Amino acid sequence: MLNKLFKLDENKTDFKTEILAGITTFLAMSYILGVNPGMLSATGMSLSGVFIATAIASGIACILMGLLSNYPVGLAPGMGLNALFTYTIVLGMGLSWQAALAAVLLSSILFLIITLVGLREAILNAIPKDLKLAIGAGIGFFLAFLGLANAGIVVSDPATIVSLGSVSAAPVLLALIGIAITLILYVRKVPAAVFIGLLITAILGVIMTFAGLGGPESTLPSLPAQWISFDLDFSVVGGFMSGFGELFKNIPTLIIILFSLLFVTFFDTTGTLIPLAKECGFEKEDGTTEGINRAFISDALGGIVGAIMGSSTVTAYVESATGIGLGGRTGITAIVTGILFLLSVFLAPTVLALFTSSVTTAALVTVGILMFVQIKDIEWDNLAIVAAVFMTIIMMVLSYSISLGIAFGFITYTIVAVATGKAKELNPLVWVLFIVFILYLVFGL
């Protein structure tokens, strides 16, 4: 029955291989269980509530991917999308987390509609490739900066704006050690390198805590009072329902938010699913990818589930390549990953006690580095493109806003294109976005 349902023979795999691939994918992705609650809780959301939302949303989304598309791809709240949710929409624009969840739900529904009606290809062709790469790289810088700041490696300074924190402080020292360990494991191509790096760092942090190196407000990890809990916190589930009224008070701001969420989700998902599908051998001779639309639909449904459960946008994870590398080729891999995420809801006390900001810094920096790598494909000998790329990245980091970085990138690209006599080459959608972003920056909508 499994062979017929998931086409095991056709994909040259077996049940045992799929199980091992699913476990490996979960281990590679599981760092999000510690990172996401720490990030989203800055909005006022319950730390344990976000943990439960992250685990359940990831679990359901993975299972949907396995059943609907038969892809061996895991899904969870996206890195970069959680930063957009927290630091731009809530802390930057001043919206409540409930309104931000309502925006995530709407953007996921729009993404589903775009996929169903076949607009994906048209949108992909409208946005300049180099801007897509710049935005991905900029988010990588932004994530790394968040990790460094949360751990105290980078601190504010009235004289120089930012400065290096006290390296001798225990939380900072632990974060730096964690970054080094994780990078060593990653470059050595150790499976689930990020998760193992976090685990080793957490153990070292507990030892430092027992040695009395942490202060009263230390971000060092500690042993949990209880390892497993069946008292689940559902306080953020359904929070989106009270956010629609606030969200629709300012339509121009709503448009900016939805565009930012859609843009990042769209290209993050596309840039993840297509290469993973190719690695699985799903690419056809004519260049099309077998089952990719079903995978996109599954991803969009995962985003809807995430918003309902109380999480930032759920999307496909590139870490799925670890399971694919072990031979995972069918939806069984994704389903196993999803089941493990669902089981992890009972480990909230353990994860939240061990994976503090000093520990999760390594994950943010490592993911940031991986996102930065795509900058190599930018057309560096074209000054117009270089200017847009530069403004996208630097303004994303310095303004502490992903959407402002995107805005400056589009505006710069359009202005330089006009100055170089290439205005006619611009897609009409680029002009629409140019006008919207100008209004956004000038009037602070």
d(CA 370, CA 406): 19
Residue of 444 and 17 predicted with greater confidence = 17
Portion of the chain with pLDDT greater than 70, in percent: 94
Q: Which residue has better confidence, 154 or 374? A: 154
In 46-142, beta strands by DSSP E: 75-77
pLDDT tens digits, residue range 379-411?
888 888 899 899 989 998 888 777 778 888 889
Residue found by looking up tokens 């639909």 in the block: 297
pLDDT recorded at residue 324: 84
Average pLDDT, whole number, for the chain? 86
Domain that holds residue 170: 2-443
Q: Which pLDDT score, from 0 to 100, does residue 16 have?
A: 87
Tokens of 197: 């790096």
Check if the beta carbon of residue 112 is closer than 8 Å to that of residue 299: no
Residue 327 zone, left/alpha/beta (φ > 0; ψ -120 to 50; rest): left
What's the pLDDT at 288? 66
> Each residue of 183-204: pLDDT tens digit?
999 899 887 788 788 889 999 9
CA 135 to chain centroid: 13
Q: Which residues contact residue 394 at a Cβ distance below 8 angstroms, ignoring those fewer than 6 apart?
A: none
Nearest to 100 by CA among 86, 80, 112: 86
Tell me: pLDDT of 265 over 50: yes
Q: Rounded to whole angstroms, how far apart are CA atoms 384 and 241?
A: 43
* Across 341-349, average pLDDT: 91
Higher pLDDT among residues 201 and 270, named by residue: 201
A 10 A CB-CB count for 26 gives 29
Say whether 94 sits in a helix, a strand or coil.
Answer: coil
Contact between 86 and 40 (Cβ < 8 Å): yes
Calculate ∠ Cα 74-404-94, nearest 5°.
85
The whole-angstrom distance between residue 46's C-alpha and the CA centroid of its chain comes to: 20
CA 251/CA 170 separation, integer angstroms: 46
Q: How many domains is the chain partitioned into structurally? A: 1
- How many Å is the Cα radius of gyration of the chain? 21
Which residue type is seen at 378? Answer: I
Quote the percentage of the chain above a pLDDT of 90: 35
Half-sphere exposure of 153 (CA within 13 A, CB side): 22
Helix (H) or strand (E) holding 315: strand 314-316
pLDDT tens readout for residues 48-89 = 999 999 999 999 999 999 999 999 999 999 887 898 899 889
Helices marked H in 373-427: 383-398, 402-419
Element (H, E) at 371: helix 357-372
**Which residue in the block uniquely carries the two structure tokens 């344990």?**
48
Is 43 strand, coil or helix? helix
Neighbours of 226 (CB within 10 A): 10
